[in-house]
Amino acid sequence: MHKQMMRCLILSGLFFITSLRGQAEMSNLQDNRGPAFHLDAVNLATPDRPDLSRLSLFIELVYDELQFIKMTDVYEAEYEISIIIYDEDGEQVDGKSFLEKVTVAEFDQTNKRTSYNQSNRTFDLQPGSYKIEVTLHDPESGQSSRIKRNITLHDFSKNQLAISDIIWVSEVGVDSSGFIHSIRPQVSDPLKGLSSPSYAYFEIYNPQNLANLSVDYELRREHKKKTIKARLLENVIGEKRIVYFPIHADSLSHGIYHLIVKARAGKEEAKVDKTFYVRWSILPVNARDLDEAIDQTRYIATKEEWKRLKKAKDEQRLEEYKKFWLRRDQTPGTELNEAMESYYTRIEYANQNFSAMQFQGWRTDRGMVYIILGPPDDVERNAYPRYSKPYEIWYYYRYNTEFAFLDATGFGDYHLETPYSVYEFQRLIDR
């Protein structure tokens, strides 16, 4: 058994939630005009109603996303949450709206990205497929954000072995008798290389009280062959068990992982999986690992910095990377490095809009120009010319220059007609 990964606690009892923090799925579709928030949606069995299936929604918003107002001796912020649930036919089947209020004593607390407010709501519905639409509205700024999510609620009324969805939790409250009275789900950045573990939490339903029930897990990193496997339980008895075990993110590399849990009893088997992202806090969210994050600095690194970053020994590379961005941090006393945030936001935009063939968007010519110079002031585009190849011309009036891109293959792989080096771009900016 993998001792660093494992310390399994098995308890029976009802599932009860107080203060909440859960995982943000990478599949979230969010309209980002308003405050950015995080949503996790999980499916569990409904206590005392086997004909229904429970949908639990965990919502988290960091303080920095809110507009606080100075009151007499405190700072207050309010926001509204609206939840609408649609069935497969697009008909609304349920929903809730409610108001959340946040109060802090000091101004410094109003812009912290490590402080957050959490809320949860549950819905007991017929098993089936649903679309969830959660809207968060800040009345002070007048702006709203929306997350849409598809989810399938399983039929736990069948007389067979089953497992709930996995929930990431940071804390589990257990009384002296071993009863779980509270959990604190992790909604945003559940696993980002912190020294304290996060816990994978789930429920096992064994209505037939099958004998010789065993539970195993497998943890594997995407695109890697090596996996961690371990047995969590064996010879389990009882119709319901709550299980949670630690995942030590500080022992995992930056990247995407898949956690698979299997329960077996004789010929019956149940399986559940959870995809998650281990993110070292120093690395941008869109970088898969340190090597890629360093490669992505090539457009703004000086020759000396680039040489230092690429030639640094493994144990020194992360420190050199930190120093690189610290030199560009305009407000080093704050939690946010604005220069780093802006740069990797451009990289993300390039990946979403300029990827072509086998190349990520940030590696393409259009991606390079966008990342270095930002969005063009004007674009002339001809995607279907009669007598030539598709082309785009980007105009940067602030630099008194333009860039022509030609798609010579017709497959969206646009190249600069006149190649530019990174250092030519830097001279253009400096002139």
Domain ranges of the chain: 9-278, 290-430
pLDDT attached to residue 295: 92
Question: How, if at all, do strands 268-278 and 255-265 pair?
Answer: antiparallel
DSSP helix/strand/coil, 422: helix
pLDDT attached to residue 286: 63
CA distance 404 to 366: 10
CATH of domain 9-278: 2.60.40.10
Over its C-alpha atoms, the chain yields an Rg (Å, rounded) of 25
* pLDDT > 80? residue 308: yes
pLDDT tens digits along 220-230? 888 777 788 88
CA distance 52 to 45: 8
pLDDT attached to residue 382: 83
pLDDT attached to residue 23: 32
By CB atoms closer than 10 A (0-12, 13-18, 19+), residue 396 is middle
CA distance 340 to 314: 22
* pLDDT > 70? residue 279: no
pLDDT attached to residue 21: 27
pTM of the model: 0.64
* pLDDT > 60? residue 109: yes
User: How large is the average pLDDT for residues 84-106?
Assistant: 95
pLDDT tens digits along 356-374? 878 899 999 999 999 999 9
pLDDT attached to residue 387: 65
Share of residues in the chain with pLDDT > 90 (%)? 42
pLDDT tens digits along 10-62? 333 333 322 222 333 333 344 456 788 889 999 999 988 989 999 999 999 98
pLDDT attached to residue 93: 97
pLDDT tens digits along 253-273? 667 789 999 999 988 999 999
DSSP for residue 50: T
pLDDT attached to residue 17: 26
CA distance 297 to 280: 17
Sign, CA dihedral 178-179-181-186, equals positive
Mean pLDDT of the chain: 83
pLDDT attached to residue 54: 96
Share of residues in the chain with pLDDT > 70 (%)? 85
pLDDT attached to residue 173: 80
pLDDT attached to residue 108: 86
* pLDDT > 80? residue 419: yes
